[in-house]
Amino acid sequence: KNIAVFASGSGSNFQAIIDAVKNGELEANISLLVSDKVGAFAIERAKGEGIPFFAFTAKEYANKEEYEAEILKELKDKEIDFIILAGYMRLIGSTLLTEFEGKIINIHPSLLPAFPGKDAIGQALDAKVKVSGVTVHYVDAGMDTGPIIAQKPVEISEVETKESLQAKIHSIEHELYPAVIQKILQS
């Protein structure tokens, strides 16, 4: 199966997916990276790996329909089967949701439905919860609201900082996401 990864940032999850393909844990072709940030480090990773990428600036388009139409062209050109969101900071619109129904998944750094949206790690610390975690879910039109596929908890210690919790969450994500993607692609 051909997958496209969407990332706006550093792309450490993108890298974990690349590594899982290389070591055989994930049987997939990473055929495209899509990024809405032309300076995203994820793009450097794609270049380094020889993975084609499509980078765009949303404000250069009249609306979401217009830039998603461009993305859709790229996805069709690469015969993409699944869209994997990995730190993509935009809501997916009806253009892509309709064409890829049930074929878009996301990873979120909390135990949804707790702490959806931006800065889930900061939200968990502010709420002083003792446990947070990671969720992989199907994407629908809402913000982090689609059906849950997998979750893993993380304990929050008395001395937790944003950096330390982020590091714990990342290391869980990097194991969990490739494994869940593999299951979904093979089912």
Residues that are catalytic: 108
> Hey, which residues between 67 and 86 contact ligand GRF (CB under 6 A)?
86
Q: In this structure, what token pair is assigned to residue 138?
A: 């199907």
Q: Contact between 13 and ligand GRF (CB under 6 A)? A: yes
Q: Contact between 132 and ligand GRF (CB under 6 A)? A: no
Of the candidate residues 109, 133, 146, 178, the single one contacting ligand GRF (CB under 6 A) = 109
**DSSP state letter for 60:** G
CB of 62 to ligand GRF, least distance (A): 27
Q: CA-CA distance, 172 to 92, in Å (whole number)?
A: 25
CB of 87 to ligand GRF, least distance (A): 3
Is 91 flagged in the annotation as binding? yes
Q: Is 38 exposed, middle or buried (0-12, 13-18, 19+ CB in 10 A)?
A: exposed
Stretch that binds ligand GRF, among 10-18, 58-66, 91-99, 111-119 (CB under 6 A): 10-18
Q: CA-CA distance, 12 to 109, in Å (whole number)?
A: 13
Sheet holding 2-6, edge to edge: 53-55, 29-35, 2-6, 82-85, 104-108, 131-138, 148-155
Residues of the shown chain interacting with ligand GRF in the complex, contacts defined by CB under 6 A: 7, 9-14, 86-87, 107-109, 169, 173
Q: Which residues are annotated as a binding site for (6R)-10-formyltetrahydrofolate?
A: 64, 89-92, 106
